[in-house]
Amino acid sequence: MSNVYDFPGGIYPPERKQRSNQSALIQAPLPGRVILTLQQHSGQPATPCVAPGDEVKVGSVIAKREGMICSDLHASISGTVSEVGTTQITIDGDGQDNWERLPSLDWQRAEPSALLERLNESGIVGLGGAGFPTHIKARVVERHAIHTLVINAAECEPYITADDLTLRHHANEVLEGAQIVAKLCGAQHIMIGIEDNKPDAIKALKHALSNYQPINIELKVIPTRYPSGGERQLIKRLLNLDVPSGGLPADVGVLCHNPGTLLAILHAVRDGQPLVSRVVTLTGEAITQPGNRWVRLGTSVRELLEQAGLNTPELHQVIQGGPMMGSPLLTLDTPVTKLTNCLIAATLNELPPPPAESPCIRCGECESVCPVALLPQQLHWYARAQDDAKLERYHLFDCIECGACSYVCPSHIPLVVDYREAKSRIRLQRIEAVKAEHAKHRFEFRQARLAREEAEKQARKQARQAQQRRSSTSAAASSEKVDLRGLRIAHAAAKASVKKAEKTLARVAQEDPKQSLDDLEMQLATAQENLKAAELQLAQAREQQSSEESP
C-alpha cells in the first residue's frame, strides 16, 4: 500500500521518549499493600464481593461487574482484605504471591462464546485510552461487519513508551492476541500502524511476522507526527477511510486495539490470567531510574516513584498520562489503575506552568493543526459564550482533546480546557433533560420485574399441577387453549428489544465514555426482565401443550 494517505493538521512536540526507552522492561517490586478503585474503566463501577478479613489470591475476583458497560476487578496481590469502601478495596499482602488462575483455553479450537466469556471474567479493558470493557468491544460483530483489525502501535504522545517496550519484549504474543480478536470480530486483515521513531519495536515486529500467522498481518510504518495514534487519524492514514462525525471505527468496518490490550487478551485466554498488572512508563527529570515496569494494579504512585529514585525537592508535578492529554495528580497517595500508562515526575524547568492567557488574535494557527478539521477558534468563542447550539453545530463532540490547538496558540489560551468544560456542561444538561424519562424507565423496570416474578410463580404452580396430574389415574384435560404462536412472537420481540438496548448502550458508551449511562443501563435491565418473563411463559405453554398431547 502506498503512503499517500494522511489526516489534516498535527504538530511536532519534543518527543522526550529517550529517557524511558533506553532500559529493558522489568517487574516492579511486589507491593505490600494495594488499593484497588472500583471505577477502573468507562461505565459503571464494579460491586464488591469480598468482606474485610477475607483471604484472597492473585486473580481472585473481589468486585463483580455491575451493568453491561463494566468489568470485574481482581486481587492483584495475595493476602487479606483489610478494607472495603464505597469506592475502593484495600488488600494487605502476605508476600507469597499465590495465584488463582482460570483454566487455559486453546483459542484456535475454542468457541467464540467461550472466548468472549473469558474476556468478560478476566476484567480486561482497553489499556490505551478510555478503558472501554474489552468483552463488549469484542462483540462488535453482532452490530457491524468488520474487515480490518488495526493494531494501534503509534503511541504518538511524548514521553510514553509503554507500547514501544511491550512490542520489543512481547511482539509474538501481541500478534497472537490480535489473531484472537480477529477471530472474534471476523476480520480478514490485520494491520499494524507504528510511528518510525520506534526502530527496535519495528524490528521485533518484522521478526515476529516471519512466523506463521493464520490471518494476514501487514506492518505499516508511518512518519512521526502527533496525534497519529488517534483512532480516526490512524484509520485515515492506514486505510484512507473517514470515520463519520459522531461515528465509530466500526462504522467503516474497522476495529482498533493497542498492543497492551492484545497482550492482556492472550494472557487471559492462554494462561488464564486476569488483568492484575500493566506496563507503566516512569519518566521525568525528577526520577533517576526512568524506564518501563510491569506494575501490579493498586500500587501506590508514591511508592512506585520512590523505587525509581524520586528526587522530591526537585519534583514540581506528577502527570498521569502524557503531557498533551494527561492530567496532573493532586496527590501521590493515589493507586495505579488499569488506565495508568505513564507517570511523568517533572521538574519545574521541564514542564513549567503556561504563560498568562491573552486575547485571541485570530491568527488561525489552531485551525491549521486540528487533526479533525474543526474550527477551534469558533468553538472557543461559543464555549466561553455558552452557546451550546453553535457548539453542537460545529461538532464539539468530535474534538478528541489532543491539545494540538492549545499547543500552538500564541495567546496561550487553554482551548482544550474550554472544550472540556463545555462538554461537561452539555452532558449535565442532557442528564437533566432525561431525568423525567429516567423515572418513567424506572417504573417500566419495576413493572417488568413484577411480570417476571409472576411468570416464575406461575411456572412453579404449573409444575406442581403437572406433578399432581402425573400421579392421578384420571387427569383432567386443561380447558384453556395454549396460544403458542402469540407467545413465540412476544418472545422474539423481547429478544429483539434486548439486542437493541445492548446496541444502543454499547454505541453511546464508545462514542462518549464520559457520558452517564444510568438510564440506558436501566432500559437494558427492563428489556432483560421482559425477556426472562417471556421465556418463562413460553416454556410453561410448551410444557402445558406437551402434557395435554401425551396419552
Is 342 annotated as a binding-site member?
no
Residues 6+ apart with CB under 8 A from 361: 410, 411
Asked if residue 475 has pLDDT above 50, the reply is no
Q: Which residues have C-beta within 8 Å of that of residue 318, sequence separation ≥ 6?
A: 284, 301, 305, 328, 329, 332, 343, 344, 345, 346
Burial of residue 302, with CB atoms counted within 10 A of its CB: 0-12 exposed, 13-18 middle, 19 or more buried: middle
pLDDT tens across 423-464, in order?
989 988 877 777 777 777 778 888 888 888 888 888 888 778
74-88, 143-157, 301-315, 440-454: which has the minimum mean pLDDT? 440-454
Q: Is the pLDDT of residue 109 over 70?
A: yes
pLDDT of 177 above 70: yes
In this structure, are residues 225 and 217 in contact, taking their beta carbons and an 8 Å threshold? no
For residue 72, the tally of other CB atoms under 10 A from its CB is: 22
**pLDDT score at 150:** 97
The CA distances from residue 537 to 49, 493, 543, in Å, are 32, 14, 10
Query: How far apart, in Å, are the Cα atoms of 444 and each of 73, 197, 537?
Result: 31, 55, 19
pLDDT score at 3:
52
User: What pLDDT sits at residue 470?
Assistant: 66
Residue 101 pLDDT > 70, yes or no? yes
Q: How confident is the model at residue 266 (pLDDT cuts 50, 70, 90)?
A: very high
Asked if the model's pLDDT at residue 95 lies above 60, the reply is: yes
Residue 399 labelled as part of a binding site: yes
The string of pLDDT tens digits covering residues 34-66 is 999 999 888 889 999 999 999 999 999 999 998
pLDDT greater than 90 at residue 4: no
Which pLDDT score, from 0 to 100, does residue 481 have? 62
Tell whether 156 is in a known binding site: no
Average pLDDT over residues 270-281: 97
Q: What is the structure's pLDDT at 46? A: 94
Backbone dihedral angles phi then psi of residue 162, each to the nearest 5 degrees: -65, -45
Per-residue pLDDT at 64 = 94
Q: What is the pLDDT of residue 387?
A: 94
Tell me the helix, strand and coil percentages in the chain, rounded to 5. Answer: 40, 15, 40
- pLDDT at res. 104: 95
> What mean pLDDT is predicted for residues 496-519?
81
Q: Indicate the pLDDT class of residue 326, thresholds 50, 70 and 90.
A: very high
**What grid cell was written down for 432?**
437533566
pLDDT digits (tens, 9 = 90+) for 211-244: 888 999 999 999 999 999 999 999 999 999 999 9
pLDDT at 136 exceeding the cut of 80: yes
| 409 labelled binding-site residue | yes
Contact 299, 28 (CB under 8 A): yes
Residue 495 and residue 4: Cα distance in Å, rounded? Answer: 46
Q: Which of 29-38, 240-249, 507-516 has the lowest mean pLDDT?
A: 507-516
- Cell output for 208: 515476529
Listed range (254-268, 332-346, 487-501) with the worst mean pLDDT: 487-501
Is residue 376 classed as helix, strand or coil in its secondary structure?
A: helix
User: From its phi and psi, is residue 207 left (phi > 0), alpha (psi between -120 and 50) or beta?
Assistant: alpha
Residue 275: which residues within 8 A CB-CB, separation 6 or more? 74, 122, 123, 124, 125, 264, 268, 297, 338
Q: Given pLDDT bands bounded at 50, 70 and 90, which one contains residue 1?
A: very low
366 is in an annotated binding site: yes
User: How far is Cα 53 from Cα 82, in angstroms, rounded to an integer?
Assistant: 6
Residue 390 has which C-alpha cell? 453553535
For residue 68, what are the contacts with CB-CB under 8 A and spacing of at least 6? Answer: 43, 136, 502, 505, 506, 521, 524
